[in-house]
Amino acid sequence: MLLGMAASAVAQESAMEKSITSLKEKIAVSEKGEKLKWMDSLIPIIEFNEDYHYTDYIQEAIKLALEIDSLSSATKNTADFIYYQNVILGDPKEGLKVYKAFKGKEFASKNPKGRINFYIYGSDSYFLLRDVDSALVILEEAKTYAQQTNEQKKLGNVYTRIGFCESEQGQFANASQSLQTARKIFLQEKDTSMMLSANNALSVLYSQNAFYKEAEAVRNESIEISKKIKEKPQLFTLYFNAAADARLQGNQEKRIKYLKLAKEEVEVSLQKNLYYPLILSDLVIAYAESDSLAKAETLFSEFANDEEMLAKGINREYYIEARKQISLARGDYQDALQYGLEHWEYKKNQGSFVEIYNAENFLAQVYKALGNKEKENEHMVAYYRIKDSISSVKNVQALSYYQTLYETEKRDSKIQAQESSIALLDEKNKVKNQWLLFGGLGSLGLFGFVWVIRSRNFARRRQKLQEGFTQDLLKTQEHERSRIASELHDSVGQKLLIIKNALSLKEKEAKTEIDLVGETIKEVREMSHTLHPFQFEKLGLITSLKNMVEVLQKNSKVFYSEDIEIVDGLIEKEKEIHVFRILQEALTNVEKHAQATACNLAAEDGKTHLLFTVKDNGTGFKNEASNEGLGMKTLRERAQLIGAALDITSESGKGTVLTLKIPKK
């Protein structure tokens, strides 16, 4: 059986060689239109194979097609050549050059279908170079032509890419809708391969918003289907995405397992040039962070010994990231600092916020190891500031809604649609040309892969939108608190007082009811004060703070004290309530969590700033999670809203210090 298979393979190879030789001979003796016809027949056979001089032939075919005004041929071959540069060679800069050089000529083509791939692969170049806005503009053109020509699979392809771009911009609800539209199209077309791409994208979208269970469910289902239909490009992107999720959840063992699987798959793929350096870098970092320094150094030597791998800019970034992590694990802090700063500069120039905050965190660790407290604090403050602004409550809530729609739709159609499409594709795969696996599918695999690289990367626009939303949310929240507090105090409280007075007239027989109403009035007043400090506008910030400390001292085992020697009116009136809220939350945290015996609230009047400090002698904390709860997040959002600098330092067993520095008016 094996000998028969081998003989068949040799026969096929021999037939292909004969076909190639025959076509080359015809090309050599032909001119113009006839020559182009033979070249267009040769190119699909030698596609992406430089042993047969693929680049030379496709460039000559494009040039010849333009000379004889065969623009349909020129457009098709140009699109394929852009894809070759982007995906096979991993050089989107060169792909973009090809796209720009041809842009405008495609409109003269009489075949609108040929334009679609040209736009799709052109958008890939922009996306890979992090110009998401330009990618979206081109994708809209591709969508228009796909709709006009009723090219449904290409339309699904376009919607998948639009979903990637929208997610990059932080438009998660829109991204979810686009990806689900793509998924529906692929289900209708019974194209399981492309549906897997949409599923892969959805799983990444869920991961970015911490829906890890949902992401894992979609991904595991896709992995099983990919194995059945032997979709190699999908498998390594799915494994890499799974590794990225494991990292976010702090599961290094699982992360390494999936990175090794991804490495095995990508090593035998046509996309190795593009993907392998990133997987190698991530695996080095994973080993270094897991105290497996020997394994990390063995893999890292592949970078150091491969000059070609380091020749391209994006691979240089991967090398630097791996190098800095290796140096930190070795204890070579000066080397770690050098490469950490270089990596930090890369990410700042790219505007990749998730990557920037990771780089900030790394530098804080290095400066801590070097004993430079000032620099450590500087980078930690930047790290927390960026991290707190990454997730938008509004966007995540919208995504939750669309995720529910997706799950409902999937439950209704999953068994029937997927099983029939798998069976159909299995049958098609027996006769399908192998290069189809590396056409549009490979490019979508590229998107899924690069998107996870920059699940590590969120756009500037999203941060600006988030900041605006957060500020509006806090203002609305404070207004609503004030309204509810007023209702409780002036309406509900007064009515309860009337009921209590009425019951008092009945004296003894209503004593229990009188006591109950009295307790209720007390609770309503406390709720009202908590929602909005009673008479805050009349008492002012300073008196309200002193009163708060006094109340806490009377009702707590913790010894509270204050050193507030400043006066009101030094900051804008509208900012005072936010200062009060921040300090109120800080003192509440001391009462609830610190296990302290003493706490002090102090305020200093500087030349340009007011400085508020809350210091306790409690248990403190050392793990990052303790400093990243919803309460802490709200504190930072309020501080950002009023232009204040908030810093929290703590050490296990040595208490916590919160400082709030706000500019004077």
Within 13 Å of residue 521, how many CA atoms lie on the same side as its CB?
16
**Angstrom distances, CA of residue 272 to CA of 90, 232, 266, 277, 279:** 9, 12, 6, 8, 10
> pLDDT per residue over 613-645, tens digit each?
999 988 887 655 455 554 677 788 788 888 899
Higher per-residue pLDDT: 221 or 60:
60
> pLDDT per residue over 241-268, tens digit each?
899 888 878 889 999 999 999 898 888 7
Higher per-residue pLDDT: 173 or 7:
173
How buried is 288 (Cβ within 10 angstroms: 0-12 exposed, 13-18 middle, 19+ buried)? buried
Q: Which residues on neighbouring strands pair with residue 662, listed in sequence order?
A: 610
Q: Which pLDDT score, from 0 to 100, does residue 377 have?
A: 82
**What phi, psi does 189 have (nearest 5°)?**
-85, 0
Percent of the chain with pLDDT over 90: 22
Q: Which pLDDT score, from 0 to 100, does residue 473 have?
A: 46
Report the residue count for the chain: 665
Q: Which pLDDT score, from 0 to 100, does residue 419 have?
A: 45
Which stretch of DSSP H or E encloses residue 655? Answer: none
Within 13 Å of residue 517, how many CA atoms lie on the same side as its CB?
18
The answer on pLDDT for 218 being more than 90 is: no
Cα angle 336-342-347, degrees, rounded to a multiple of 5: 120
Q: Which amino acid is at 206?
A: Y
* pLDDT band, residue 367 (cuts 50/70/90): very high
Domains assigned to the chain: 459-532 (no CATH), 540-665 (3.30.565.10)
> pLDDT per residue over 379-394, tens digit each?
887 777 666 555 444 4
Q: Which pLDDT score, from 0 to 100, does residue 458 have?
A: 43
Q: Which pLDDT score, from 0 to 100, does residue 552 have?
A: 84
> pLDDT per residue over 494-526, tens digit each?
555 555 565 565 555 555 666 666 666 565 555
* pLDDT band, residue 607 (cuts 50/70/90): confident
> pLDDT per residue over 165-182, tens digit each?
887 777 777 888 888 899
Q: Which residues on neighbouring strands pair with residue 613, listed in sequence order?
A: 602, 659
User: From CA 475, how far away is CA 471, in angstroms rounded?
Assistant: 6
Of 65, 57, 62, the residue nearest 78 (C-alpha)? 62
Of 368, 371, 369, 389, the residue nearest 379 (C-alpha)? 368
Q: Which pLDDT score, from 0 to 100, does residue 152 have?
A: 93
3-class DSSP string for 93-128? HHHHHHHHHHCCHHHHCCCHHHHHHHHHHHHHHHHH
Q: Which strands, in side-by-side order, build the sheet including 656-663?
A: 559-564, 598-605, 609-616, 656-663, 645-650
Within 13 Å of residue 138, how many CA atoms lie on the same side as its CB?
25
Q: What is the mean pLDDT of the chain?
A: 76
Does residue 227 contact residue 239 with C-beta atoms inside 8 Å?
no
* pLDDT band, residue 277 (cuts 50/70/90): confident
